[in-house]
Structure 1
Amino acid sequence: MAVLVSAGVVTLGAPLVPVVQTRFDLSETASQWSYTITLLVGATLTPVLGRLADGRRRRPAAVCVCALVAVGCGLSAVADGYPVFLAGRAAQGLGVGLVALAIATARDHVPGSRGVRLLALLSVTTALGAGLSYPLTMVVAEQWGLAAAYGGAGVLTAGVAVALAIGMPRTVDASRRTGLDLPGAVLLTAGSLAVLLAISQGGVWGWTDPRTLGCAVAGVMALAVWVAVELHVRFPLVELRLVRQRDVLAAHLTAVAMGVSLYSTPVLVSRMAQAPSATGYGSGLGLLVVGLVMTPIAAGNLAGNRLALVLARRLGSRGALATGGAVAAAGPLVLVFVPGGALWTLLLAMALSAFGAGATFGTMTTMIVGAVEPAETGSATSVNILLRLVGGALGSAATGAALAAHPGPVAGFASASGLRFACLLCAAGCAVAVVVSLVLARRRTSPTPTD
């Protein structure tokens, strides 16, 4: 429940970007930051929370995260200006780390086949939370405004924080370390933030702008130092040697490639749904109908997640991972080859994209868990989440640049060709994931439930 609520809060920015743009009288680029900043914070701090999940401070870390997310929702609800609203959205990004916390807890306390199913399900809770929250968020935002949407999310998250404080089990192994690799945490956070900032803002600042190049160089240097530190410290923030295992490497590279489509396709569909028909692709739908268009996210991810277990048993990890990527690629391709923005095409695109993502991320988690020790579960899965968000930042930057480079006949909206090109970029990310799966993933079958 904690992960579902937090995931819904984190993803509030995607469907509400146009609403935020109107509310604060912003440009399209500036309004996109209401979504991007949440992903940046989530990406950079999730590995730290993942390591805490592997230690004895799991419960206080989870309670603290939920409390901060609730505070962030409150800030966004009462904000009179965009800077305060953004500060709230930044705090909400901490909720991304709850997925790693939940996966580590489940592995410790739910053994056997039930544990395998639960771990696979937890891997897609971000998408499930988004799918469940989108329709409700759209209704609330349309009827009562942004303040009600974020205020309600804050109340729910505060309730989850109380529930975790009362009922979350402690770490099973009392011998696990309690310390945190602070130098590694600072270096990874700073390096990831700088690189992601360069990626997300490169299209705005210019790819050769000193700010873009400075962030990129500083980030790469910080990450290089971080790698050197992690390989020599006794208790690293991230055990980098695990990447030498083929399944872990395949899962991490697939996460980057799939992240491009996972985070960008819903934004493109939302923009298509709300764009006027004069653009050549827009449906001109109201917020309530746009929310309904997003409902296949939850159902598709859940169905794909369940199918992943069957595919892994019959085709092995390689086949399950590649199948998920191929189905996910079909989602944005529907928007390319079926022009006009009809409601049924938007629903089909979301369903295929969500189904493929559910199968892929469910497989990735079971591959990682099967390859690492229990004490490394939170750390390894948090890195995978970080890499999904790196892919999301790459996708957001690439699709944003594609839209900006193809202005359409209606002011503030891209042309039909620009939108199709952005969709092709999402499909290309899924295609790369298929290739990585077939080349790197082991043939062996991943653990699956027998009952």
Structure 2
Amino acid sequence: MSVREQPPVQGRAAGPVLLVLALSLVVTTLSLLQSLVVPVLDRIAAQLDVSPSAAGWVLTANLLAAAVLTPVLGRLGDLKGERPVIIGILVTVAVGTVLAIATESLPLLLLARVLQGASYGLFPLSISVLRRELPERRLGMGMSVVSSTLGVGGVAGLVATGLLAGDDADYRRPFWIGLGITVVALVLAVRLLPRRPVTASGGVDWWGAAVLGAGLSLLLLFVSQGNAWGWSSAPTLGCLAGAVVVLSGWTVLQRRLAAPLVRPAMLADRRTIVPNVVGLLTGVAMFASFLAVLQYVQSPTGITGYGFDATVLEATVVYLLPGGVVGILLAPFAGSVVTRFGGLPTLLVGWTFGLAGFVLLTWFRSEPWAVIAAGLLTQVAVTVAYAALPSLVVQAVHEDETGVANAINSIARSVGQALGSAVAVTLIAAHLDPGTGLPRDVAFTLVGAVGIGAAVAILVAALLGLRADSRAARQRRPDPLTEVEEAVAGAGEWSPVSGIR
């Protein structure tokens, strides 16, 4: 159903600009809460008197909840309407954030992070709202601006932590920023999100959702806990094997259902495979960059021979904030480029910058300006990627699948972020200096090389997608002579010499 054919809005609708701004803040809630704990995991371990591996579950619990909840929430939005589901998610996230602020117990903090994991459903639902409400000429830019806030919000979360949790302050302080953003987003959602009659039909495939959640949880456990458990340990390999078996079984289950959670044909469609692969690799590159920059610039130069002795505040404000500011300024421009030239060409341009950024980080990081420039270039690539991905997904699926399709893409990015974190942590831990207990410089070269590999793979995926699109367009193009013959067929017998008899 096109925008012009939508059922009438019940009540006064917000204008396009106001709606995009409101949904941008809604999506910022997700990325902000996701990243603000990253710089203070060691402080959580110290202040709650738990091991660093136990504190790592603060990230893992959030990702596991996202894996289970995001597809269901996306499908519920398609079936029940986005507005009530978004409001319900924001209320749940607010409760979880209050619990995170109030608790002094790791189990309760993990419960809070599970509740906050519902926020991952906000992005696919926001894209669904935009697809229903915006005219086609504004849809591309609207989706790009809202999607770009995922990368910008991630930087904002790190900066907020640097500002509020510096000098060994209580790790709970940054959650106050998260609570404030969540409450403001909730107020805007209640006031501005339109009430539309639901047009989609069917139900939620709860069995499919449960099996998918179990398979993704096993996969995320393998990725996020492999370094702590040991990559060759029985639990790690068991999670990997279990993920392969469960996700394979889920695919078989979806093929046998009349109304599956996700159409198998949608997952196998080349038009959705490309953005999902790009989302995964973008997540890998983004978090590898974040962790490498944060640890590198905070390293004591006198002991390690590298680094800049930066505090947590300096690391986030000086080295990461410029990229976040550039992302905010770039988002509308990236949206217009996606609208005019398409998602795949935009990805090629954006990740050319990203490749240059990782080259700087890998081989030219000895000066502060080079690290800042690397952060700027990689943030440009992430912003452009997040601007292009929803457009590519929306073009590939039916309107009543917008929520669940973007939910799958969101999960791909989350898995990529977990994988990027795990790879960076593993490489750094594998290259510790026995004398100082700090990583050797080569560890950051290897992390940068991972980013280079991810950037190259994204460029290759975009080129392959463009080639396939060009081939498909040629196959659809009709023969000009056939068009002329059809046009005059009703007028009588046609002769190529004299025309119409």
Residues 309 and 148 (structure 1), Cα distance of their counterparts in 2 relative to 1, 3 Å cut: closer
Distance in 2 separating the partners of 1:147 and 1:199: 26
1:431 aligns with 2:456: yes
Deviates more, 1:177-186 or 1:130-139: 130-139
Residue equivalent to 1:196: 220
SS at match of 1:180: coil
CA deviations on 1:118-168 (whole Å, 9 max, x unpaired) are 111222221121233432332122275322221342243234334423442
SS at match of 1:235: coil
Structure 1 residue ranges without an equivalent (≥5)? 445-451
Distance in 1 separating the partners of 2:59 and 2:298: 17
Residue equivalent to 1:218: 242
Residue equivalent to 1:364: 389
Residue equivalent to 1:125: 149
Q: Is the 8 A contact 2:365 2:371 kept in 1?
A: no
CA deviations on 1:214-242 (whole Å, 9 max, x unpaired) are 21122222111211122222222112312
Residue equivalent to 1:448: none
Distance in 2 separating the partners of 1:209 and 1:61: 40
Residues 138 and 395 (structure 1), Cα distance of their counterparts in 2 relative to 1, 3 Å cut: same
Q: Is the 8 A contact 1:259 1:389 kept in 2?
A: yes
Q: Is the 8 A contact 2:152 2:324 kept in 1?
A: yes
SS at match of 1:192: helix
Deviation of 1:18 (Å) = 4.2
SS at match of 1:124: helix
Q: Is the 8 A contact 2:151 2:386 kept in 1?
A: no
Distance in 2 separating the partners of 1:336 and 1:410: 24
Residues 164 and 410 (structure 1), Cα distance of their counterparts in 2 relative to 1, 3 Å cut: farther
SS at match of 2:256: coil
Using structure 1 for the length normalisation, give the TM-score. Answer: 0.90
1:74 aligns with 2:98: yes
Q: Is the 8 A contact 1:409 1:415 kept in 2?
A: no
Residues 318 and 161 (structure 1), Cα distance of their counterparts in 2 relative to 1, 3 Å cut: closer
Residues 30 and 378 (structure 1), Cα distance of their counterparts in 2 relative to 1, 3 Å cut: same
Deviation of 1:408 (Å) = 2.6
1:382 aligns with 2:400: no
1:36-55 equivalences under 5 Å are 36-55=60-79
Residues 276 and 87 (structure 1), Cα distance of their counterparts in 2 relative to 1, 3 Å cut: farther
Deviates more, 1:16-25 or 1:117-126: 16-25
Amino acid across the alignment from 2:88: C
Residue equivalent to 1:321: 347
Residue equivalent to 1:169: 194
Amino acid across the alignment from 2:324: A
Residue equivalent to 1:396: 421
CA deviations on 1:320-345 (whole Å, 9 max, x unpaired) are 222222322322321211143x4323
Amino acid across the alignment from 1:352: L
Of 73, 79, 86, 1:62 maps to 86
SS at match of 2:432: coil
Amino acid across the alignment from 1:401: T
Amino acid across the alignment from 2:149: T
Q: Is the 8 A contact 1:63 1:161 kept in 2?
A: yes
Computed over aligned residues only, the root mean square deviation of the Cα atoms, in angstroms, reads: 2.4
Residues 311 and 3 (structure 1), Cα distance of their counterparts in 2 relative to 1, 3 Å cut: closer
SS at match of 1:236: coil
Amino acid across the alignment from 1:359: V
Residues 346 and 90 (structure 1), Cα distance of their counterparts in 2 relative to 1, 3 Å cut: farther
Distance in 1 separating the partners of 2:246 and 2:230: 22
Q: Is the 8 A contact 1:304 1:355 kept in 2?
A: yes
Deviation of 1:22 (Å) = 4.3
Residue equivalent to 2:320: 294
1:154 aligns with 2:207: no
Q: Is the 8 A contact 1:141 1:148 kept in 2?
A: yes
Deviates more, 1:239-248 or 1:418-427: 239-248
Amino acid across the alignment from 1:91: L
SS at match of 2:172: helix
Distance in 1 separating the partners of 2:435 and 2:455: 30
Deviation of 1:82 (Å) = 3.1
Using structure 2 for the length normalisation, give the TM-score. Answer: 0.81
Distance in 1 separating the partners of 2:440 and 2:321: 26
Residue equivalent to 1:447: none
Distance in 1 separating the partners of 2:339 and 2:346: 9
Amino acid across the alignment from 1:78: A
Amino acid across the alignment from 2:353: V
Structure showing greater Rg: 2
Deviation of 1:411 (Å) = 4.3
1:338 aligns with 2:364: yes
CA deviations on 1:37-69 (whole Å, 9 max, x unpaired) are 323332342222211221224223212221222
Residues 271 and 175 (structure 1), Cα distance of their counterparts in 2 relative to 1, 3 Å cut: same
Q: Is the 8 A contact 1:66 1:95 kept in 2?
A: yes
Distance in 1 separating the partners of 2:208 and 2:96: 26
CA deviations on 1:372-402 (whole Å, 9 max, x unpaired) are 2211111111111111112222222222211
SS at match of 1:54: helix
Q: Is the 8 A contact 1:322 1:437 kept in 2?
A: yes
Residue equivalent to 2:283: 259
Give runs of ≥4 in structure 1 deviating > 6 Å. none
CA deviations on 1:85-106 (whole Å, 9 max, x unpaired) are 3332232222122111111111
Residue equivalent to 2:309: 284
Matched residue count? 442
Deviation of 1:404 (Å) = 1.1
Distance in 1 separating the partners of 2:187 and 2:335: 33
Residues 320 and 354 (structure 1), Cα distance of their counterparts in 2 relative to 1, 3 Å cut: same
Distance in 1 separating the partners of 2:344 and 2:84: 37
Q: Is the 8 A contact 1:43 1:385 kept in 2?
A: no
